[in-house]
Amino acid sequence: MADNFLDQLSEIDVPPPPVEFDSQLHDRVNQSLLSVQLVELLVQVMPMAMLEMTRAFTGWVMFTLTGRYDVAPQDRGEKSPDEIS
């Protein structure tokens, strides 16, 4: 008997995986991926999409009521055309 742990592991017989192992693994992985993607869609994507739609709808309503579209630079370090000149 070998003293090294890896040598001991190399001598152990490992049974083959069950026949349905691949299909079970794929089913579990697919279910996990679907769950994660649905949670991401509901928690991250949908609120951002709703926010952007709200901004667009608000702009449309303001344009309809006032007849003008005020473009204000967002606070991302952008400068308005008046500040550039």
Task: List pLDDT tens digits, range 58-77.
Answer: 989 989 998 887 766 566 56
Q: Is residue 8 part of a domain?
A: no
Confidence band (pLDDT; 50, 70, 90) for 82? low
Tell how far CA 55 is from the center of its chain.
Answer: 22
> How many structural domains comprise the chain?
1
- DSSP state string for 21-48: HHHHHHHHHHHHHHHHHHHHIIIIIHHH
Q: Is residue 49 part of a domain?
A: yes
Give the residue with greater pLDDT, 41 vs 85: 41
Q: Specify the residue for token string 């702009």.
A: 59
Range of the domain at 53: 33-61
Tell how far CA 28 is from the center of its chain.
Answer: 20
- Amino acid at position 16, single letter: P
pLDDT of 19 strictly over 60: yes
pLDDT of 85 strictly over 70: no
pLDDT of 41 strictly over 90: yes
Q: Is residue 5 part of a domain?
A: no
Q: Is residue 2 part of a domain?
A: no
Structure tokens at 4: 């090294």
The reported pTM is 0.49
